[in-house]
A and B are shown apart, each in its own frame.
Chain A
Amino acid sequence: MDHFSERLDPAIVARREWLLLILAALFVTLNHVGLLLVNQGQWSDLWPLAIWSACALSTHVLLNRLLPRRDPVIFPIVMTLSGWGLVLVARLAPPFVARQAIWLILSTLALLGTAALPPDLRLLRRYRYSWLLAGLILLAVTLVFGVNPSGNEYAPRLWLGFGVIYFQPSEMLKLLLVIFLASYLAEKRDLIVPSRDQVSRWRFPSLPYLAPMLLMWGFCMVMLIWQRDLGTASLFFSIFLVMLYVSTGQKVYLLAGLLLLGIVALAGYQLFDVVRLRVDTWWNPWPEANDRAFQIVQSLLAVASGGIFGQGVGQGAPYYVPVVHSDFVFVAISEEWGLTGALGVLACLAILISRALRLALENLYRPFHSLLAAGIGISVGMQSLLIMGGVLKLIPLTGVTLPFVSYGGSSLLTSFIMMGLLLRISDEDHGRPAYPLKEISRALDFAP
């Protein structure tokens, strides 16, 4: 039977998602109970599990009505990862569980709200400059009024505080950037792609591309200089580059962008302590294992300690890694769930990305939707790679969160809205893909 005709049957979609959610619930419950037993806690300590279950169940039921023909894989994976994240916060930073649970409820509501948008997503497309402006204003406000929840005078001030709740505008800005780029590129790509006879020769990039690229580059420099936020700067620039490449297929832009990135990196190494620190401790952390490179060395020790099957939930010692609950959550998984668990997270993220890219292919007939799906996949993928590669000493460390898993409300909220958009795009009953399925399947190497 054809994949798309299955997708068209709401009963099959609902059953598949339900079965996958049961698996997710088993996994999350097992871990919550395991943690409870290790901590010798009360049964009432399981309330985060109850909240998680309520979120999963109600969203499943509501999605059945809102988007009966959605992709049934996305939501269970999202809940697996966020449930895992909740276990990790309970394990690594117990005082923050309540906060994270509230963010989970808010994020679920946001996912449902996004899923309820009209199918054409005109709201996003039409007001793209307004969205971008709003994002930039948010950034400007953060530059002026930003705080750091830790209260550390010298830590980057990337948050806006509202009483006990802190919000990181750069997360929302990332989403707005993806939406803006999808919309901008969907409209302008015909203008910018060199005509067929020009492809063979090298050609100076046309202004409509050059302008936003330079704008983006300048924007990342601002992030870097003013906020010392290496992670966001790297992430934004890489999302921008890859989306540009996807929309045009022009490798020359990719190369030009990498060249610019190289210049920024070189200059950054000379000018900024934070860049020098990250590069030095990446290249050779061992001589400074007790000093500047303490975090990365402890991170690798945590991975080593995990081995194949890990120490078991609550039974390792990942807390030796500073800020393990946010940026270094991946090594906490490696220590307590071992390689098995870490590969599980990798697999979950890989499936999500492949679903997003598959949606991009299925929606080629409407470029905005296609580019939006691709952009979301790229965003989740690049962010995961930056932080996983960073904590494993594969690339210099840039402080970004691991989507869905890390502690942090803004990150969770943004990721859930992105998944709401993916679910929205996946539920299309009007119009068939512009390309035959066979070709799509061949195009995607790791699509299931």
Chain B
Amino acid sequence: MITSIRQVSRFFLVAFAVVALTLGYWGLLRRDELLARADNPRRIASERRIQRGQIVDRNGMELAQTLVDGVTGIATRYYPYASAAHVVGYYSLRYGVSGIEAQYDALLRGDSVLDPPQRLLNDLLHRPQVGGDVQLTLDIAVQQAADHMLEGQRGAVVALSVPQGEVLAMSSQPAFDPNTLDDNWASLRDDPSAPLLNRATQGLYQPGAILQSVLLGAALNANLPVFEVGWEGELSSHVNGGVLPCAGEPALVDSVITAFLWGCPAPFQPLAVQIGIHRLETALTDFGLLEVPDFVPPGAATRSDGLSAEDSLPLIAIGQGPLTVSPLQMVLVAAAFADHGRMPAPRLVLAVREPVGDWQAVVPEGNPRGTISRSSADTVAQLMGRSVTEGVARAASLPHHAVYGHVGLALAGPQPVYNAWFIGFTYSSPNQAIAVAVLLEDTTDTSRAAWVGGQVLQAALEFSP
């Protein structure tokens, strides 16, 4: 029996050693690979305990906050103002992140901020990861006003402070509620009206007659005698079988200048030929219409096929050529006329704050740029003022402030579908302006576009003087 007990003893020794080695195999050798598995519930659990930082507006109002359950430690992302959803974005365990939530993900999660020893200590003590905060340039009051004006209408509004270039409001309709994204994802994704799309930055539209201010500026810059050019003939333009009419029922249009006041396209077609393809391309480049703005929200878009074919000039002249623009680009055009030809760099983030520390100002990514000469810009601005007082943009006028604006229609698509544009600005003080761009989809109601623009300017004057 002594031998067999010895054998059994050996067997147990070997078997226990094998168990120990297996422990090491799974616990050390295969550890990282196992923990990285998508079905590891610990990953989701630790993700759900991350206390993401706040996103606040320029006045410190919370746009995104994290609610932590005291018992389970599970954090829930909560958006008090669903209306800022396109800018703030969403945070979803299932569907990822978007907007500022995506752009500042590392900071908001707290990934970028910890030094290794601190991270190790937090890991050891199972402290939840705490993220940093982001302050936006948005003013939630202006944002809500813009949303309210747009309600029920597909379209976008962007309001900008000039010369700072700070985006005060950026509204896109239809919108979505980021608080219920997980429940409504499928219907949001499949909705043909694309509520998840941020039309203000991602929407690409034919500019149509709203391009007239740029054309006029380019002509003035080239010293063309635009004030002397008269016009007799049809005011509407024909585009591939469709008709692009004036922005409103015109009173008397007998020149390029009156055509501008009433947003009539036809007189600008010969003007574009006079300006010439090279000077036109320079102007479009200077106004930043051939590039993505030095900006911010991921997914901002433009299409710059470039201008090359001489025969497309008459189409470019009425904004129905290859060029498409976003409302964000157009608000920058308005801002350039407000600031005497100087176009600000847009910015959406004022400051960031690490989990421990103070607010640090965020330097804008782009620089202000020159477009056309001061006098040319001021002349166009003056005409924009007349368009509001005596032209087709009257709906934008405000009781106590002079509003400068311009409206235009654009043909969208092969069917006779129109989009209505408005760009404009007003001064709150001699050196401080607010610019706005409005786009309404599938309507010819340019008055409504002008009215929305005026009301948003009014809100900005009230809340962010």
State the main secondary structure of chain B at its contact with A. helix
With both beta carbons as reference points, the residue of chain B lying nearest to A310 in the complex is identified as: B27
- A299→B63 CA distance, assembly (Å): 41
Size range of the interface on B?
20 to 34
A443 touches B5 (CB 8 A): yes
Q: What is the CB-to-nearest-CB distance from A306 to chain B, in angstroms, rounded to a whole number?
A: 6
- A342→B20 CA distance, assembly (Å): 8
- Which residues in window 427-450 of B have CB below 8 A to A? none
B9 touches A444 (CB 8 A): yes
A289 touches B12 (CB 8 A): no
| Known contacts A249-B4, A303-B27, A343-B23; is-contact A353 B12 (Cβ 8 Å) | yes
- Which residues in window 284-300 of A have CB below 8 A to B? 289-290, 297-298, 300
Query: Is A410 part of the contact surface with B, judged by Cβ < 8 Å?
Result: no
Interface residue stretch chosen among B30-38, B166-174, B208-216, B407-415: B30-38
Interface residue stretch chosen among A6-14, A48-56, A357-365, A423-431: A357-365
Chain B residues, CB < 8 A from A392: 19, 22-23, 26
Chain B, residues 97-128, CB within 8 Å of chain A (1/0): the string is 00000000000000000000000000000100
Chain A, residues 339-350, CB within 8 Å of chain B (1/0): the string is 100110010011
A301 touches B16 (CB 8 A): no
| Known contacts A320-B42, A350-B12, A385-B19; is-contact A364 B31 (Cβ 8 Å) | no
State the main secondary structure of chain A at its contact with B. helix
- A374→B3 CA distance, assembly (Å): 13
Query: Is A311 part of the contact surface with B, judged by Cβ < 8 Å?
Result: yes
- A323→B385 CA distance, assembly (Å): 76
B8 touches A317 (CB 8 A): no
Chain A residues, CB < 8 A from B9: 354, 357, 443-447
B19 touches A374 (CB 8 A): no
A247 touches B27 (CB 8 A): no
Q: What is the CB-to-nearest-CB distance from A393 to chain B, in angstroms, rounded to a whole number?
A: 8
A342 touches B23 (CB 8 A): yes
A360 touches B39 (CB 8 A): no
Chain B residues, CB < 8 A from A315: 126
Query: Is A338 part of the contact surface with B, judged by Cβ < 8 Å?
Result: yes
Q: What is the CB-to-nearest-CB distance from B69 to chain A, in angstroms, rounded to a whole number?
A: 14
With both beta carbons as reference points, the residue of chain B lying nearest to A349 in the complex is identified as: B16
Query: Is A411 part of the contact surface with B, judged by Cβ < 8 Å?
Result: no
Query: Is B45 part of the contact surface with A, judged by Cβ < 8 Å?
Result: yes
With both beta carbons as reference points, the residue of chain A lying nearest to B31 in the complex is identified as: A304
With both beta carbons as reference points, the residue of chain A lying nearest to B35 in the complex is identified as: A304
| Known contacts A305-B42, A444-B6, A445-B9; is-contact A385 B34 (Cβ 8 Å) | no
Query: Is B278 part of the contact surface with A, judged by Cβ < 8 Å?
Result: no
- A246→B10 CA distance, assembly (Å): 13
Most interface-central of B6, B10, B37 (chain A CB within 10 A):
B6
- A48→B59 CA distance, assembly (Å): 55
Q: What is the CB-to-nearest-CB distance from A444 to chain B, in angstroms, rounded to a whole number?
A: 5
A317 touches B19 (CB 8 A): no
Most interface-central of B18, B26, B126 (chain A CB within 10 A):
B26
Query: Is A281 part of the contact surface with B, judged by Cβ < 8 Å?
Result: no
A320 touches B41 (CB 8 A): yes
With both beta carbons as reference points, the residue of chain B lying nearest to A244 in the complex is identified as: B4
Chain A, residues 411-448, CB within 8 Å of chain B (1/0): the string is 00000000000000000000000010001100111110
Most interface-central of A290, A303, A349, A381 (chain B CB within 10 A):
A303
With both beta carbons as reference points, the residue of chain A lying nearest to B32 in the complex is identified as: A304
A246 touches B5 (CB 8 A): yes
Q: What is the CB-to-nearest-CB distance from B10 to chain A, in angstroms, rounded to a whole number?
A: 6
- A301→B45 CA distance, assembly (Å): 14
- A297→B40 CA distance, assembly (Å): 9
- Which residues in window 80-107 of B have CB below 8 A to A? none
Chain B residues, CB < 8 A from A439: 2
- Which residues in window 211-245 of A have CB below 8 A to B? 242, 245
- Which residues in window 21-73 of A have CB below 8 A to B? none
- B residues with CB within 8 A of A: 1-10, 12-13, 15-16, 18-20, 22-24, 26-28, 30-31, 34-35, 37, 39-42, 45, 126
Nearest first, the 9 A-B pairs at minimum CB distance are A304-B34, A443-B6, A249-B4, A303-B26, A392-B22, A304-B31, A446-B13, A246-B4, A320-B41
- A residues with CB within 8 A of B: 242, 245-249, 289-290, 297-298, 300-301, 303-308, 311-312, 315, 317, 320, 334, 338-339, 342-343, 346, 349-350, 353-354, 357, 360-361, 364, 367, 370, 374, 377-378, 381, 385, 388-389, 392-394, 435, 439-440, 443-447
Task: Give 12 A-B contacts (CB < 8 Å), ordered by A residue.
Answer: A246-B5, A248-B4, A249-B4, A300-B26, A338-B27, A346-B19, A378-B8, A389-B18, A393-B22, A444-B6, A446-B13, A447-B9
